[in-house]
Amino acid sequence: MGKLRSAFLEFLEEYDREYVQFLKEQGWLNLKTGGPVVTEIEPLLRPYLYHEGLIPESNLQKALDVSILAGTVCEALGTTAAAIDWYKIGQHRYRGGRLYSRHLDKGWPDVSVREDAGRQQLETAICATRVGNHGRARQLYEWAAQNFGFSEREIAILEDKKDKTHIVLWTNLSYCAYALLCLGRWAEALSTAERGEAYFRRDRHWKDKTYEPIILYPIVQAVARYKLDPSPENRRKAIEMLSPQAVASRNHVGHLWALFHLYNLRALHPDLAQPPADELPLEERARQGADACVKWMAEGSLMLDGTPESLKRLDETMRAVFRSLDSEEKRKQALFLWGSYFGEVVRRELAGGQWRAHGKTMTDIAVDWELGEAELHLWAYRHVRAYVTGKVAQGLYALWRETEQAYIDLGLAANLED
């Protein structure tokens, strides 16, 4: 159950094969790591470093262009050494100064010009952070924060008087807030994220809530709030928002870009990314429960593979197993394992779901999906208990199908074509 959703995993593996094939064709494949041979590529890039006007040969430029997502793909697949090799190449992607040199004599450049520079600066800064080149990263974060920012005059122009906001405004403020967070400027990051999110919420014409700048807003705010006020509740929220599931989406490319930014924050804040066991978020506890369920059921020769179809097998056996348990403690543990497995199967199939506690007991915990006014709740533990005790006839598989249809009908799926 700790595995990625099958469709996203296939997407990652396909991309990884393409990157490996490219490296093989160029003779740059590191057979030990599965990433690029950095010691061969960096010398070839050296003549182009810090000279934005010089364009590398096509094969070198492609290595730079794919380095960011290639590194993220490898990290998502668990091949960290290959990811670091790619990030070492990616740290050279942006080779200019605060602004493109062709715009330096034209006064303060247009928003679109700054945005293009800022995007490359931020992506390169993240790669530099991941390989320990912190001085270079800090300079790039500072430039990116400036280029993604706006003057009050620009904001006034971009604001629309009909209760919607130009997409450039709330998109760029998201990345500005992210860069400020990476600089440790917590208060500025928080205020920028809050302002940008407010502009987004005024834009009623934007439907895709899995768009990466939108996903970054709650993450930046959660981490910044914790840094400004390290209360237990703020810490819990920050830990929750730095979980990979916080950026899950059925839009695979968007999901990958969000992971690129998230992995960087997890590396910058290891205390939040890997908290002690007693601080694990509900999601992690449920994941561990789901894994334990798979092992427990396998002891009785029932194989569970994390697919919705496996819920049919649970439907056929849970009641008999539950009746055979000889203590209340064992029955309670069984309900936790089955409910965790059920909830994790559905949550991983229907992107965007979050485990949340609506009360103090296990049956008050649900998987929630939210999109504006649309809400969907799966009371996994509550339904398992009702099913095994005979209070409801509907099994787990039937409830999965019902939940999936509601997910589609409510418009919670950003991209239903997996």
Checking if the pLDDT of 2 tops 60, the result is no
203: left (phi over 0), alpha (psi -120 to 50) or beta: beta
Residue 358 CA to residue 259 CA, distance in Å, equals 28
The predicted pLDDT at position 11 comes to 93
Q: Is this structure's pTM higher than 0.85?
A: no
- Of residues 258 and 5, more confidence is placed in 258
CB 11 within 8 A of CB 252: yes
Checking if the pLDDT of 416 tops 70, the result is no
What is the length of the chain?
Answer: 418
Give me the mean pLDDT over the 176-204 stretch. Answer: 94
pLDDT interval class at 277 (50, 70, 90): confident
- Specify which residues 376 forms β-bridges with: 369
- Rounded to a whole number of angstroms, the CA Rg of the chain reads 24
The predicted pLDDT at position 415 comes to 39
pLDDT interval class at 250 (50, 70, 90): confident
Checking if the pLDDT of 222 tops 60, the result is yes
Number of helices followed by number of strands (H, E) in the chain:
18, 3
Checking if the pLDDT of 157 tops 90, the result is no
Give me the mean pLDDT over the 372-387 stretch. Answer: 91
pLDDT interval class at 212 (50, 70, 90): confident
The predicted pLDDT at position 388 comes to 97
Residue 126 CA to residue 133 CA, distance in Å, equals 10
Percent of the chain with pLDDT over 90: 66
The predicted pLDDT at position 36 comes to 98
For the segment 42-57, what is each residue's pLDDT rounded down to a tens digit?
Answer: 999 988 887 776 778 8
- Specify which residues 354 forms β-bridges with: 368
Give me the mean pLDDT over the 57-82 stretch. Answer: 96
pLDDT interval class at 147 (50, 70, 90): very high
The predicted pLDDT at position 418 comes to 39
- Of residues 154 and 12, more confidence is placed in 12
Percent of the chain with pLDDT over 70: 90
Residue 159: which residues within 8 A CB-CB, separation 6 or more?
165, 166, 169, 199
Strands (E), 132-190: none
Residue 163: which residues within 8 A CB-CB, separation 6 or more?
202, 204
Q: Poorest-confidence range of 65-74, 152-161, 164-173, 315-324? A: 152-161
Checking if the pLDDT of 317 tops 80, the result is yes
Give me the mean pLDDT over the 50-78 stretch. Answer: 90
Q: Poorest-confidence range of 100-109, 162-171, 240-249? A: 100-109
Residue 406: which residues within 8 A CB-CB, separation 6 or more?
376
Q: Coil, strand or helix: which one is 340?
A: helix
Residue 120 CA to residue 14 CA, distance in Å, equals 25
Residue 218 CA to residue 396 CA, distance in Å, equals 32
The predicted pLDDT at position 101 comes to 60
Give me the mean pLDDT over the 280-294 stretch. Answer: 88
Q: Exposed e or buried b for every residue in 279-302, given b needs 16+ CB within 10 A?
A: ebbbbbebbbbbbbbbebbeeeeb
- Of residues 418 and 122, more confidence is placed in 122
**Mean pLDDT for all residues in the chain:** 89
Write the single-letter amino acid at 197: E
The predicted pLDDT at position 285 comes to 86
